[in-house]
Amino acid sequence: MGFPFEQATWDSVVGAMYMGAGGSMPAIITWISAILCLWALWAGNRKEHKLYSDFK
């Protein structure tokens, strides 16, 4: 497949470059998403429990 640049330095990179799966941002975004999903489930369950707790 070959190396995409003429030389192996950062000087040849122009513009944004994907850093790959070795970075920490995919893990950080995954954890933030998981926390938001868990919060939404907890908040929805709490609301439903309050709404239907009187109807036993």
In this structure, are residues 13 and 5 in contact, taking their beta carbons and an 8 Å threshold? yes
What's residue 4's pLDDT? 64
Contact at 8 Å (CB) between 42 and 48? no
Give the pLDDT confidence score for residue 31 in this predicted structure.
96
Q: Is 10 left (phi over 0), alpha (psi -120 to 50) or beta?
A: alpha
Q: What is the model's pTM?
A: 0.54
N-term to C-term CA, the chain: 66
Mean predicted confidence (pLDDT) in 7-25: 69
